[in-house]
């Protein structure tokens, strides 16, 4: 499993946290470690999903996302 940290723009409340968590949970090969307002940390299987697909799932939920670092 690989790890990725995302910086997420547009989150402001617990509803946002829940929406991002749900979007990430739906991806195959992704294990959500933590989601807070403005960031998320997940482990993922690179054979099932890419970092770009993870960021796209967050964007599909309505938030701008990019890798930290």
Q: pLDDT digits over 5-61, tens only?
A: 999 999 999 999 999 999 999 999 999 999 999 999 999 999 999 999 999 999 999
pTM: 0.92
**Which long-range CB contacts under 8 A does 33-42 form with residues at least 24 apart?**
33/3, 37/11, 37/12, 37/13, 38/7, 38/8, 38/9, 38/11, 39/5, 39/6, 39/7, 39/8, 39/68, 40/5, 40/6, 40/8, 40/65, 41/3, 41/4, 41/5, 41/6, 42/3, 42/4, 42/6
Return the domain boundaries, the chain: 2-67
> What dotted CATH number matches 2-67?
3.30.70.100
């Amino acid at each position: 499993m690989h790890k990725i940290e995302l910086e997420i723009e547009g989150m402001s409340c617990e509803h946002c946290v829940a929406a991002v968590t749900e979007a990430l949970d739906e991806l195959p090969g992704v294990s959500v470690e933590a989601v807070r307002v403005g960031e998320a940390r997940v482990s993922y299987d690179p054979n099932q999903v890419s970092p770009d697909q993870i960021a796209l799932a967050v964007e599909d939920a309505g938030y701008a996302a990019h890798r930290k670092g």
